[in-house]
Amino acid sequence: MILKRNERVLEQVDSPFESDPRILEFHKRLDGYATTDLVDLPRVASEIGIGRLLVKHEAERYGLPAFKMLGASWAIYRAVCDLAGQEPVWDTFDELAAAWAPLLPLRLAAATDGNHGRAVASMARRMGFSASIWVPIGTADARIASIESEGATVTVVDGTYDDAVAISALEADDHTLVISDTSWEGYEDVPTWVADGYSTIMTEIGVQLAELGVEPDAVFVQLGVGALGAAVVTYFKTRPDSPTIVGVEPSDANCVMAAVEVNEIVTLPGPFVSHMVGLNCGTVSPLAFPVLRDGLDWMVGIDDEDAYEAMRTYAANGLVSGETGSSGLGALLAIARAGKLADVGLGPDSTVIVINTESATDPENYLRVVGKTPEEVIGL
């Protein structure tokens, strides 16, 4: 485990991202919306040595096994509305697809380690668009198959996630919209909308915390290129008395940690071999970087075994989580195991939020790590 304090953190952060309840209202209009649970795990909290552990359980959104549809749907909606020059009148997926039918043929393109690409492909399928998705070499067959099940064409790139991003970016034309969760020069609107879409998670958490009558002392968030982390920082660090924000990355793909240390974006060369594939990113999004630099209190680099321990911990409590999804809890467990809880300001009275960002998106590895299938864990 690598644990580093961010010496550059500010008490309050200026952010280009939105944390707007109107985005939640958009998501509610999409068929299949449901608020995900904020699960209390008192036994695990006691074992860790904190007062309360709350898990935002993002194992399913709109029938997909991860939170990514929130960002993809909002970004696609905004991008297509810009293309059309107006917002349509609609109340369901079918009505939205009918309103956009005159724009066909239209293609969506994206790079992914799995969950974002599937969300883009799923939204394309529902709208009658085509989708082309690029994935880095080594992507699990199950993740590729899940994207293809949405009707998308998947191309494996002989390189890293960053290489896949670069290739997908070249696809933009009059009939192709690139839907990326990371930014580059001249391409900022879509990744901004992706991160804005994740604000629905935060809005839900705010309501749930108010119902419980508690405030968190710390929030652990997975980083990757930084979109979800930026949404968390935007929600909590643009107001006074914010909790400690802890960013989590694989030890060998800690591009945010590396960038914050030198106060400029750096690119880690890879290859990245962690099973926390959604976090195997060599370059932080330029759009997200200033927000993360100013808003993260601590950064943690963990190994696969830390995520595996968290997967097993979740399973023992009836929750299914994949490798990336478990990494937030994995970091908390690793900090506790190293006797570093007090270093990050946590103790027996602390309330901590972690986000389980996915279900078991690689069933074969899940069975190997946990010793049970997801169905056995949840008692089906």
248-273 confidence digits (pLDDT tens): 999 999 999 999 999 999 999 988 99
Q: Across residues 125-131, what is the average pLDDT?
A: 97
Task: Please identify which of the residues 28, 40, 94, 113 carries the catalytic annotation.
Answer: 113
Exposure letters 315-330 (e unless 16+ CB within 10 A, then b): beeebbbbbbbbbbbb
pLDDT score for 212: 97
Rg (CA), the chain: 19
- What number of other Cβ atoms are within 10 A of residue 366's Cβ? 24
- Per the annotation, the verdict on 113 as an active-site residue is yes
Q: Tell me the per-residue pLDDT of 81-97, one tens digit each, with 9 for 90 and over.
A: 999 999 999 998 899 99
372 tagged catalytic = no
Give the pTM.
0.95
Whole-angstrom Cα distance, residue 193 to residue 77?
9
Split at pLDDT 50, 70, 90, the class of 379 is confident
Closest by CA to 134, choosing from 104, 160, 106, 98, is 160
Task: List all residues 6 or more positions away from 80 whose beta carbon is below 8 Å from its beta carbon.
Answer: 100, 103, 106, 127, 177
Q: Is the pLDDT of residue 380 over 70?
A: no
Q: Is the pLDDT of residue 63 over 80?
A: yes
Distance CA(183)–CA(340), nearest Å, equals 34
Q: Looking at 56, 68, 181, 362, which residue is catalytic?
A: 68
Question: What is the mean pLDDT of the segment spanning 195-221?
Answer: 97
What are phi and psi for residue 171, nearest 5 degrees?
A: -80, -10
DSSP state of 342: G
What residue type is 243 in one-letter code? Answer: P
* Amino acid (one-letter) located at 183: S
Nearest to 181 by CA among 159, 198, 204: 198
pLDDT of residue 21: 80
Domains of the chain, first to last: 2-66+195-378 (3.40.50.1100), 73-194 (3.40.50.1100)
Q: What is the mean pLDDT of the chain?
A: 96
For residue 39, pLDDT over 90 is answered with: yes
**Cα–Cα distance between 328 and 249 in angstroms, integer?**
9
CA distance 154 to 233: 33
